Chain A
Amino acid sequence: MILSNKKNKKKQEKSYLDYSFLEELKGVFISPELETNKKMLEEYFKDCSDVVIKSFQIGNGVDNDEIDALAVSVDGMIDNDLMTEAMKSMMESKVEISDISQIKESILPFAEVNEKNNFSDFMLSILNGDLGILIDKNTESLLVSMRGFKTRTISEPETESSIRGPREGFIENLRVNTSMIRRKLKTPHLKTKAYKIGKYSCTDISLVYIDNIIDPNLIKEVDRRLSMIDMDGVLESGYIEEQIQDNIYSPFPQFRYSERPDTVSAALLQGKFAIIVDGTPNVLIAPTIFLNLIQASEDYYERFIVATAIRWLRFLFLFLALTTPAFYIAFTTYHQDIIPTTLLLSIIAAHEAIPFPAIVEALIMEVTFEALREASVRLPKTIGQAVSILGALVVGQAAVEAGIVSAPMVIVVSVTGIASFTIPTFNTGIAIRLLRFPIMFAASLFGIFGIFMSLLLLLGHLGNLKSFGVPYLTPLAPLRIKDLKDTVVAAPWPFMTERPQYIPVQDKKRMGTQVKKNVEKDGGIKNKNAEEVGDQGE
């Protein structure tokens, strides 16, 4: 009873999206009077200099049988050559026209021509780059797909470069992006469910998944969360991310975003889903666990021993990025006892002329470093170099010489900086970089005790996070031993016979076990026809 009451209340609140022009126009049908339609369109597209509304006549080739028509398009969104061809074929047509579908079937040489009878669909298609044709005395409109707006060419993703692996990255066009995934996963099971979000932006959004791997409940939940979004415009996948994530108040990303089709495809094969937003090359991947964020696609391409070693290097530097300055502060202001004597004397010697306590010194350097990093990201590349030289010279050397910071602190900050850049995903790296400041404060107040208390708090927070119901710290907590093979270490491919357990999937099996059995028995695939090969060699 109470529940249904609540539901009713919710329904009564008018959703923001209801005001969008699409909803308004759903009920407005195309009138048989061409003039009325023209007026209506002109009114809607008033002061839209890029919308071209052109009157013309179909069937000039046939005597006295011209039909008045209207072509509507958005300049720049449409391919001009194709439009010229379409207009030409309609104007010069010698076919007698009795029905609108005749135009579609025998005059327009285009594959995708749709008939729409309301203004909502009509205008949306035009704004997406279709050519709209209204014909006198007809309540159906023709929409010819000839999108020809300029997009960036596919290039190597700059934020996720790799040595081995494909060099292509997503671009801003949704269709190109889905095609890049489709090229990798050629199956009807690859679903790209379409959404349109944004009152003004009408952004196309694709929910991509493989329907017989992914847990249907997961898709239901994503669908629910996506349809709750009700906003004016979606310009980047970050808009979506923050609206549908489990925990807002966390510095840690609960989605992975990637510019790489191979990363996204790999996630889909694991039973995850991806959300592609038109207009951005960054595709969201979820459910994401913390350990996914410090993995790179290359981990799966390189030899597993190397990949495992690199993963461990990342774990080490993740910890260093978080705690190096804090430990330096704690050691030098509380626990001088545990620094080796000779090192202590060197640090004291370097520190003697510095007027600030260690925490102030650390803050000066760390904040400057963050500022430098931010400046070099925003600046044009050519100036960025100048900034880094300036930073290295001014912050690194002059500050030490001027006696503002000590040389060991410069080393500490550099190590921290390098360490934070070993984290392959930028948004995780920046979260870690941010969190080292509170840990530094804790270290300056409570020494090592403070560091470990704040690390415990952090661990508690991470343990509390979830990404679409998947605990953030799996497979470590809760522990899933089988999944450790693809998180803590990188197992060789023959042993990845099952999908990760931490994501609920319909189909656990990933590959046949023939190779695995061979490897377990012989340590590799041995040549059955060894002698023949040997003979050929001779």
Chain B
Amino acid sequence: MNKSIQLLIYSLLIECLLLTGCWDRIELNDIAVALATAVDVEEDHVYRTTVQYALPGKMGASQTTGSGGGAEDNIAYIDSDIGKTLREAVTKMQARMSQRITFSHRRVLIVSEELARNGIRDMFDTTARTASNRLSAYIIVAKGKAFDLLKAEPQFERFSGENILYLAEARGVIKVNMRQAAQAMSPIGSDTILSYMTVKKSQLSNDPSKEIEFVGYAQFQDDKMVGTFEGEEAHGLMWLKDEISPYTTILKIEENKYASVNVKNGNVKIKPKLNDDHIEYALDIEINANLIEDFTRSDITNNSTQEVLSKSLEDHIDGAIHSAIKVIQENKGDSAQLGLLLQRHYPKQWREKYEDNWYEELAKAKFSIQIKANITDAGLVSENITNRVKAEESK
């Protein structure tokens, strides 16, 4: 082929790339990085959206800004506005900002408990529609106002949003990000839970700061919050959901004699069984735990001590699971996705009998729990190292 025609075709093809018009290019100096959003509900279906932005220029990383010093002062910037939709509020905020707001680094979305009780389905619409929004963000329910959580000043992180994120991802917490929450919310026989947090003042320090505390999980029925799992209920839920991550709990061995154990891992088998008038779930649980504190002054090498400890751990976890079941059955929120489990085992019966009135069936369901606990590790010593012993015994 003629060389010049070839060249012409190639250059025309390359020009096509330049014709797209829409350019994604944006310089770093022109973006405002949103780290966390808090959504509250005001009267008349008006949302108050509060956004936390990073002010990297004040982080002191650049030596050239000239402002110098005071690297600590306000590296986070919070702005808020109201709107009938979340986007309206953001648009209003954008009108007073010189830099384009980018949500691609937002990993935390906080909703107030009031909003959660009214329903959170709208949140998923806003987030999922734009590609730059991350569905890997964590959605958090705040006890009280959502913006109060953003306004907290945790000492360990530079941004409260970052702090919330690390709490939501911490060990011993069931991690539910927006994608997982959406998946849990979609089918009948499955409801989501979300991390539930509150602002707490640090205790007894000279200069008390407003810290953020992980309280437990908000329980949902469909998209509405119906209750909470706190303390042992939260641990019990972990076993029901078979999402065990190590956590520490205390055991009451005798009156005023306690021991702490660290639950390392466990194995849960849940089997639903259909009875005529109720469903029965059989839980078969195996637990491995470490002893990390023992105030009973006993010797762990002793078989009977071990038995006592295991027994008490078994009872403790049995109690925790039952307290979680109680919350589930009373509030009618299937946080452990027990309906989904039933559907997988008995798809036909599920469709015919249970799907339509699942929450009633769930309230009637019975649970039988088998637990086998092993204390596999007692730490570096088998008993308190200051225990008094007689001279000949020590030999």
Contacts and interface: CB of A to CB of B under 8 A. Distances in A.
Interface of A: 332-334, 336-337, 341, 344-354, 357-358, 400-401, 403, 406-407, 444-447
A336 B56 contact: no
B302 interface: no
A91 to B, nearest CB: 69
A350 B26 contact: no
Given A332-B28, A344-B33, A350 B61 contact: yes
B62 interface: yes
Interface stretch (B99-107, B110-118, B212-220, B231-239): B99-107
B59 to A, nearest CB: 5
Contacts of B56: 345-346, 348-349, 352
Interface string B48-87: 0000001011011111110000000000000000000000
B61 A336 contact: no
B62 A401 contact: no
B99 to A, nearest CB: 10
Tell me what chain A mostly uses at the interface: helix, strand, loop, or mixed: helix
A344 B105 contact: yes
Contact of B27 (A337, A345, A357): A357
B27 A341 contact: no
Given A334-B24, A401-B64, 5 more contacts: A332-B27, A334-B26, A336-B102, A345-B61, A352-B62
B28 A341 contact: no
Contacts of A345: 33, 54, 56, 59, 61
A333 B26 contact: yes
Contacts of B61: 345-346, 349-350
B105 A341 contact: yes
B25 interface: yes
A444 B24 CA distance: 11
Contacts of A446: 17
10 contacts: A333-B27, A333-B28, A334-B26, A336-B26, A336-B31, A345-B56, A348-B28, A352-B57, A353-B64, A353-B65
Contacts of B31: 336, 348
Contact of B64 (A333, A334, A336, A403): A403
A333 B102 CA distance: 13
Interface string B201-227: 000000000000000000000000000
B104 A349 contact: no
A337 B105 contact: yes
B244 to A, nearest CB: 29
Interface in B81-139: 102, 104-105, 107, 132
A353 B105 contact: no
Given A336-B104, A337-B132, A341-B105, A351 B29 contact: yes
B142 interface: no
B2 to A, nearest CB: 18
A354 B59 CA distance: 16
Contacts of B107: 341
A272 to B, nearest CB: 33
Instruction: Give the most central of A349, A403, A407, A445: most B CB within 10 Å.
Output: A349
Contacts of B64: 352-353, 400-401, 403
Interface in B9-52: 17-18, 24-29, 31, 33, 35
B105 to A, nearest CB: 5
A347 B64 CA distance: 13
B117 to A, nearest CB: 31
A447 B24 CA distance: 9
A336 B65 contact: no
Nearest to A449: B17
B166 to A, nearest CB: 12
A349 B105 CA distance: 16
A333 B56 CA distance: 17
Nearest to A329: B25
A333 B25 CA distance: 5
Nearest to B60: A349
A353 B33 contact: no
Nearest to B17: A446
Given A333-B26, A349-B56, A401 B63 contact: yes
Contacts of A354: 29
Instruction: Give the most central of A348, A357, A407, A447: most B CB within 10 Å.
Output: A348
5 interchain residue pairs of minimum CB distance: A337-B104, A349-B61, A349-B56, A348-B56, A353-B64
A352 B33 contact: no
A419 to B, nearest CB: 24
A401 B64 CA distance: 6
Contacts of B17: 445-446
Contact of B57 (A349, A358, A401): A349
A39 to B, nearest CB: 56
A41 to B, nearest CB: 53
A376 to B, nearest CB: 28
A337 to B, nearest CB: 4
